[in-house]
Amino acid sequence: MSELPDLFPGFSSSTIAVGDLRFFVRAGGSGPPLLCLHGYPETHACWHRVAPELAKSHTVIAMDLRGYGQSSAPTSTGDNHVQYSKRTMAADCVAVMQALGYDKFSVMGHDRGARVAYRLALDHSAVLDKLVILDILPTVEVWDALRAESALKSYHWAFLAQPAPMPETMISADPEFYIDHTLRSWTQDRSLERLDPGALAHYRSFICERPRIHAICEDYRAGATFDRAADAQDRDDGRKIEAPTLLLWGADYLGKGASNPLEVWQRWCTTLEGCEINSGHFLMEENPADTLSAVLPFLARPA
């Protein structure tokens, strides 16, 4: 991988070993630990506009999830795609934080990272102080609610979940076109103008590697199978997220859906608050000021 722009001046970079895998981590600031988890099709770089302000009150840890960015991308085997399930990814995150010396921490996740974050909240409640969810609904709720309009808007859920190597082969034909199209279609102004060129270099770099294209497809295959079933089981059992939870959503993304995000998440959380942000899908990049205005007071309050 060619040298990429450093978007986190003053932050350290390290590689944390968890078993046979390696996870790339940026860390900076001081205070209570806050783990930040990126979504698809991005990397830890998505936090670069909010990390400096968060680091004034927290120790910010931004990591690349397995398969993404500069972290390991193991080959997935078997039919249940467990290697890329959110349960497995949540366990990765707990192990990385423990390796850094943190037994309890808060988590903020966007998109796929938010799915890892809420799975962490359900499976590892003892380690979690607070949870911040950015612009998603629970996986099983999305699948259950799919209709013609939402299926067209979220076509990638079904496309990326198709059996290998069909989506991998199609994306590999022109990966930069694919990622630029995806990012552009989810911003508020349907352009890349609000995304930093340095961050775009990070996103374009990882998507050009065939093992990482396979990894993101496995992420979505797990979403359609293992993750959906795990969510359904938790819902049937009446399990709820115990940690105080903040939900933020983009006015021009989740805010345009048929469901009220707060009403959906109230069925999953014991303590929930939230609001809409004037943004497309990439809240912390398109509107970092309003995102921080909501996140910082929530994190500052006693759990």
What residues act catalytically?
Answer: 111, 281
Q: Is the peptide bond before 163 cis (omega within 30 degrees of 0)?
A: no
Token pair, residue 182, equals 């995806």
Q: Is the peptide bond before 138 cis (omega within 30 degrees of 0)?
A: no
Q: Is residue 124 within 8 Å of residue 116, measured between CB atoms?
A: no
Q: Is residue 71 within 8 Å of residue 45, measured between CB atoms?
A: no
Burial of 239 (0-12, 13-18, 19+ CB in 10 A): middle
Nearest-angstrom CA–CA distance, 70 and 25 = 9
CA angle 290, 292, 294 (to 5 degrees): 75
Nearest-angstrom CA–CA distance, 69 and 44 = 7
Token pair, residue 125, equals 């409640």
Q: Is residue 34 within 8 Å of residue 58, measured between CB atoms?
A: yes
Provide the terminal-to-terminal Cα distance of the chain, rounded to the nearest Å: 41
Name residue 138's amino acid. Answer: P
Q: Is residue 133 within 8 Å of residue 109, measured between CB atoms?
A: yes
Name beta bridge partners: 34.
60, 106
